[in-house]
A and B are shown apart, each in its own frame.
Chain A
Amino acid sequence: MSDAIIELKGVTKSFGGVVANRDISLSVPRSAITGLIGPNGSGKTTLFNSIVGYHPIDSGSIRFEGREISRMRVQEIARIGMLRTFQTTRIFGKMSCLQNMLISIPHRKAGFLDMFARERGDVAERAEHLLAFVGLYDKRYLRAGSLSFGQQKLLELAMALMNEPTVLLLDEPTAGINPTLINGLIDRLRRANSDFGITLFIIEHNMRAIMNMASLIYCLAHGELLAAGNPDEIQRDQRIIDAYLGAH
């Protein structure tokens, strides 16, 4: 039983009159892959945004490695080791892939004078190694904005790995990827978890993908936590099936 690296207690967030997350409590175990599923509009991305500090929460507590982070800003949370990828795949379009990687070094280690340094050989080497890991080594000098959508997603993943995070929150990593390439992506995510020891917390709509990867899955519906369990339990849970099919 691994300890929880992220702990949410009673997290509530509303926008105007709409309650996007209501009283959500869950824990993400360290070094494992955890999934977050739920029909559209159930509040998954809002929950992610709350965790990474994109907006303040109305009430509740969010702890990362035992430390309360609900009042911290995005950059601070990123610097203590929790990173997220975006649903719409964001990379720095006008720079080359390699430059994208170089700017993704872990900034918690960067002092004031590091602003004026040029990246040394070992950092560039690591960047190339990670680009090779995602299969973009040949494209490393190309302008990132000119890559295909799938390739940009891989670049985003490589950049996240470059940042040496402890936890990676992935928002629909397989969305928009050609079905024949999804297996490759899943494989890389698994290896990021097993080889690099990174905890993964993944929002997914692709059931096959998430059932394959995660050991624990949470399901949200209407802004509340509906169910939790391992893939077998989740697949057999009628409530979840109902929620997806809109039986209400």
Chain B
Amino acid sequence: MDQIISNISILKAAPIFNLGLLIDGLLIGSIFALAAYGLALVWGVMNVKNLAQGDFIMIGGYLTWNLSRLGVEPLLGVPIAFVTLWCIGWIIYRAVVSKVIARDLFTSLLATFGIAIVIQQSLNLAFGPDTQSANADLPTWQFANGLITVTSTRLIGFVCAAILATTVILFMKNSRIGQAIRATAQDARAARVLGIDTEKVYAFTFSLNAAICGATGALVAMVWNVQPFMGTTYSIRLFVVVTAAGFGNLPGVIAAGFGMGVFEQFGGFILGAQYQQALIVLLLLIVLTVRQLQQLRERQAVQ
């Protein structure tokens, strides 16, 4: 408790720290926002709440880490992971998700949870339980007499996330497939009547999401670290972001992603790193409770 109070007083005494945490939060938040976008996409189009989202990210991360061990520039991990996870996502869709899409929502949730467990344990078996990161050996910049550090890796991560997000969003707005996806999201039956092959749309969307996760994972490996069981934390984190913003509200999801990043930086600083998981789960419960209270005013339940 004393540690917490002293941490808070540090923040009050040196306002410049707050700025540092804010910047860091935004930089990291960009990565969350990207992955949250993917989750919201799958949720909105197929009504599948992908509990394996964080684990897809981990696969991307481990892929990048392995590449960096082989001497490949970690930044290249982004496109490579993107493509690889696209394929993996497509396979998982065909093998599992397509079969549970028409069933009730709990079934699809459980199925993705099963996939999450398989991925976590496979990564653990293959690479061991230690945390790893892909070192990009990029410079760190210091501001304000060393009180604010900005690692260029984080900045690059931010830029990459921004580029990727913009590309995907523009693609969704302007391409034919993007339109097909949006049509299917609004009303799948109507889309089918109009001749859209919704199966293809679903497969595409799921693969796209997996690919986004892959790219995110590459960034995570560079900016942070990866560990086989960290996937769950990411999944919960992203679920909080999407629930808080509302999955149809894409700008809101991105904003909430940034917010999450900032929140975690401050929370982590004040409470200490070991409470990270607890913080995220408590935030989940708070978001769900707030949602319920909101819905209560409309006399509905959180569906």
Contacts and interface: CB of A to CB of B under 8 A. Distances in A.
Are A and B genuine complex partners? yes
A56 B297 CA distance: 8
A53 B299 CA distance: 8
Interface string A65-91: 000000001100000000000000000
B130 interface: no
List of 7 A-B pairs having minimum Cβ-Cβ separation, nearest first: A55-B299, A73-B299, A56-B299, A55-B298, A56-B298, A54-B299, A53-B299
Interface of B: 297-300
The secondary structure that dominates the A interface is: loop
A162 to B, nearest CB: 25
Interface residues of A, number: 6
Interface of A: 53-56, 73-74
Contacts of B298: 55-56
B265 to A, nearest CB: 36
Contacts of A54: 299
Nearest to B297: A56
A213 B299 CA distance: 33
B293 to A, nearest CB: 14
Contacts of A55: 298-300
Nearest to B299: A55
Between A53, A55, A74, the greatest number of chain B beta carbons within 10 A of the residue's beta carbon is seen for A55
A57 B200 CA distance: 42
Nearest to A71: B299
Nearest to A72: B299
Nearest to A49: B299
A123 to B, nearest CB: 30
B247 to A, nearest CB: 18
Contacts of B299: 53-56, 73-74
Q: By CB atoms of chain A within 10 A, which of B297, B298, B299, B300 has the most?
A: B299
A53 B298 CA distance: 10
Contacts of A56: 297-299
Contacts of B300: 55
A101 B297 CA distance: 32
A209 to B, nearest CB: 31
Nearest to B298: A55
A74 B299 CA distance: 9
Contacts of B297: 56
A129 B176 CA distance: 61
Nearest to B296: A73
Nearest to B300: A55
5 contacts: A55-B299, A56-B297, A56-B298, A56-B299, A73-B299
Nearest to A54: B299
A65 B98 CA distance: 53
A213 to B, nearest CB: 31
A21 to B, nearest CB: 16
A196 to B, nearest CB: 29
A53 B300 CA distance: 11
